Structure 1
């Protein structure tokens, strides 16, 4: 069992058919949708979590050296529907488009960028590490 300082959780509440809101312990909310509206789908949230995790790690290190002039992370993948193994994502790819100003500070940021992205992917990003390691998910019903 995880200690209180390691436990993370969100709750998902149904708002209406196909519309939900995720809430975290700090009071943040995020709309989810299974409809074709502007809300994020659960798969899009997975992609955002993978990219967001590595983006945060990378931004913290590089922006200490120079403020980026461009910082965009794109995450893509193919949604597979397989009768034998079930639905899943394949071919996940995270692409950074980052630019820094000319000069010594920008040079230092550019120098640490590849190592920082790799370190985040290989060790630091909890989200992509969890996906890549294939952590089991326990599902239960609380009939309370």
Structure 2
């Protein structure tokens, strides 16, 4: 087993509005009406992780004509056990061109999606395994 530290930094911009900063310098705005909510970012992370794994593998055969991943779930507010997401579903809508290369990409799509879900996607693996989250106040 190997480990590699990952991090993001969240900065308050104004009441209810924040910027998430990655070590590479990328930023994402969150919290406002026209920004991602934290739950939407979680869904995007789950879908994006599996999409990247799948796209990298299948596009070696041919470029997709269309490639869309939709992630849905139910936000549950429970007085006893707290807020959470349930019934998370990742749906792939991918089209490859006709021909031998498209056929090869189509044939490997189910296998690459399953491999990402079962082994490669750090985000969905972490959610499914139920990793504890520790909070610290400096």
TM-score with structure 2 length normalisation? 0.97
Structure 1 position 12, deviation (Å): 0.2
Match of 2:91 in 1: 95
Match 1:115 to one of 105, 111, 126: 111
- Which ranges in structure 2 are unaligned for 5 or more consecutive residues? none
RMSD across aligned positions (CA): 1.0
d(CA) in 2 for partners of 1:61, 1:47: 22
Given the alignment, which residue of 45, 70, 94 partners 1:49? Answer: 45
Scaled by the length of structure 1, what TM-score is found? 0.93
- State the distance in 2 between where 1:81 and 1:137 align: 19
Gaps of 5+ in 1: none
Q: Which among 18, 24, 46 is matched to residue 22 of structure 2? A: 24
Q: Structure 1 residue aligned with 2:7, among 3, 6, 9?
A: 9
Q: Among residues 81, 85, 88, which one is paired with 2:81 in the alignment? A: 85
Alpha-carbon shift at residue 38 of structure 1 (Å): 1.4
SS of 2:68's partner is strand
Query: How many Å separate the matches in 1 of 2:122 and 2:136?
Result: 23
Of residues 31, 38, 41, the one that matches 2:34 is 38
